[in-house]
Each structure stands twice: as C-alpha cells, then as structure tokens.
Structure 1
Amino acid sequence: MNSDTHKPQTPKSFMRTMTVLHAVLTTGVFIILVAVYYSSDALIFGFQDTEDIYRIIIPLVAMIGYFGGNLIFKKQLDAIDPKASLKSILSRYSSASIIKYAFIEGAAIFSLIAFSRIHNVFYLVISVLLLLYLWSQRPTKLKVMSDLKLKKDHEELFMKNEETLP
C-alpha cells in the first residue's frame, strides 16, 4: 500500500495555491473591515481628540507594512540563486510573498482595530487603501515571472501548466 498521497507540484498547482492563499488573506481583511464598519456607532471626521496616539502610530504602521513588506520581499528575491531548481525558486518566492502579504494585512488589521476603538474615518481609509494594495498584489504568472526574472529554461517550464517541477 502506497501511503504517499503528496501530489507532485506543477506550475498550475503553484499558481492555484498562491491565488487561494492571497484570496483568503484579502477576503479576511475585507470581512473584518465590513464587520468593524457596520458595528461602529458613529463616524468621526477629523481629529477632535489631540491626545489620540493612533493618529501617529497608524500611518507609521501603514508605512512599515507597505515599505517594510516590499523591502523584505525584494531582499528575499535577491537572495534566490538563479541556478537553483524552479521548484526551489518558487518555494522561496512563495515565502517572500506570504511575508509581504502579512505585513500589509497586519497593518490593515491594526488600523481597523484603531477604527473600532476611536471611530475615526481616517483609520478606516488607511485600512481600505492597504486592502486595495493587498488586492493589487494578486499573483499572476506574468507577475511571478517578472518578479523572479526567470532564466529562459525556467520560464519555459513555468509556462507548461501540467509539467511536474523537478
């Protein structure tokens, strides 16, 4: 009896996994955003409370989420050996993408927490902008190939959807 139920990875299965992961993270933030918005009693425009520490922290966290996620993503991609197998390269790309998504998602959720406590629309807008940016990061084959700058042989293999990755 063969107990190995692990299916070999193909470019198609890699893209499906990345797309589902991205969709789950994006949908999660969207659901939280909608729930927090509809549970808020009143919306506050502007900053009446000068003691509101979130007005400094939230933009800072948003910038860290955006720039930090992109910086780490680029550093991890730069560390990938172009001579490695395509399977290894895609695995490293997947890890780098997850970290980038987590930075953006974390900043968006933190901003939603501030909105749920203070009800200031400024924090909701930051969350919406981060959510839109996260959504724009949806993985596609062209984006993966562009990000990785694949060699010709890796690119050809990646374009073959059903080809098992060595």
Structure 2
Amino acid sequence: MNIPTIQAPKAAQKVITIIHLALLAGQVLFGIIAVAVLHPAAGNRQNDKVFTYLVPLIAIVAVAISMFLFTQLIKKAIAQPTLQAKMTAYQTALIACYAPLEGASLFGIVAYIITGNLLYLLVSALLIARFVTIRPTVAKTGEDLKLSYDEQQELTETPAMVK
C-alpha cells in the first residue's frame, strides 16, 4: 500500500523554489539556443502578420489567467487546516500560476524562430521578467498564505537534531 508522504514545510518551500528555477532556466536556455544556435528564418512575412497580433495577445491573456488562477487557488490554500496542507496547496497554486506564463513565453520564442522578428523575443523576455518577479521566497510564502507567527517559524526553522 502506498502511503503519500507529506513534506515538511521547509522542504516544501525548497521544492517550490527548485520548480521555479527549473521552469525559469528552461525558458532562458531555450531563448539563448534560439538566438545563438538556431538562426531563425529571416523575414518570413506571411507568418509574421499572424504572429504580430497573436504573440502579444497570448502574452496578455497568459498574465491574466496566471493571476486569476493564483488568486483562486491561494484562497483554497489559506483555508487549509495545517501548514503542510497549506504548502501543498500553495505549490499547486504556484504551478498553475507559472504554467500560462511559461507557455506564452515559449510560444513567443517559437514565433521568433519561425519569423526572425525580435519583437516576439522581447515579449518572451517581458514574460520571463514577470516570471522572475514572482519568485517564491519564505517571506512571500508567509505573506501569500497569511501564516501565523508560529507557522512562519515552522517554515523557517531547522529541525532539531536527534540525539
């Protein structure tokens, strides 16, 4: 029988940080590869007309969806009875927040590869900048989850050594 393991709050915070960093690194590395290695098509104007409207629109919608999902899921996380449950729900909320931003950013990079238009790379860079600003920190976690003093202490303290 598989018993689900519940992460300690501090370990859950570390997992959230690693997930954020991995998603961020994927976007940045894909952008670098697109610029340095792939040599995008220059002047594919037929596709460029479509992407001129599509890339910014998808970026704006992604930011709105990201904020909406986070707001809705954070309400559920705050209502959880234990810190472990709050951290699990918070992790879900953050992943749901990150997904639309990452998808729109990757779409912009792909549009750049197809057309060679730097505007799409700029849109992706702005989305990546937004992604950086929502980096999970212990202080932000406490603020988002409206943690009590004791819960914040539990989130930051290192477990006592067993003798």
Gaps of 5+ in 1: none
Gaps of 5+ in 2: none
**Partner of 1:131 in structure 2?**
128
Q: Do residues 65 (structure 1) and 62 (structure 2) align?
A: yes
Q: Aligned-pair distance for 1:63? A: 0.8
Contact 1:11 1:161 in 2 (8 A): no
**Partner of 2:144 in structure 1?**
147
Distance 1:98 1:50 in 2: 31
Distance 2:11 2:110 in 1: 35
**Partner of 2:27 in structure 1?**
29
Contact 2:48 2:115 in 1 (8 A): no
Distance 2:93 2:11 in 1: 18
**Greater mean deviation of Cα atoms: 144-153 or 122-131:** 144-153
Structure in which a larger fraction of residues adopt helix: 2
**Inter-CA distance 8–41: structure 2 relative to 1 (3 Å threshold):** closer
Distance 1:88 1:8 in 2: 8
Aligned length: 159
Aligned residue identity for 1:142: A
Distance 2:70 2:7 in 1: 23
Q: Aligned-pair distance for 1:83? A: 5.3
**TM-score of the pair, normalised by structure 2:** 0.85
Q: What does the per-residue CA deviation read over 1:31-76, in whole Å, with 9 as the maximum and x for residues that have no partner? A: 11011112225766xxx66971111111111011112101110111
**Inter-CA distance 92–57: structure 2 relative to 1 (3 Å threshold):** same
**Partner of 1:82 in structure 2?**
79
What is the aligned-residue identity percentage? 24
Secondary structure in 2 aligned to 1:79? helix
**Inter-CA distance 41–114: structure 2 relative to 1 (3 Å threshold):** closer
1:18 to 7, 13, 16: 16
**Inter-CA distance 84–49: structure 2 relative to 1 (3 Å threshold):** same
Secondary structure in 1 aligned to 2:77? coil
Aligned residue identity for 2:12: F
Distance 2:39 2:57 in 1: 24
- Superposed CA RMSD in Å reads 2.7
Higher relative contact order (CA 8 A, sep 6+): 1
Regions of 4+ moved over 4 Å: 41-44, 48-51
Distance 1:51 1:128 in 2: 18
Q: Aligned-pair distance for 1:150? A: 1.3
**Inter-CA distance 141–60: structure 2 relative to 1 (3 Å threshold):** same
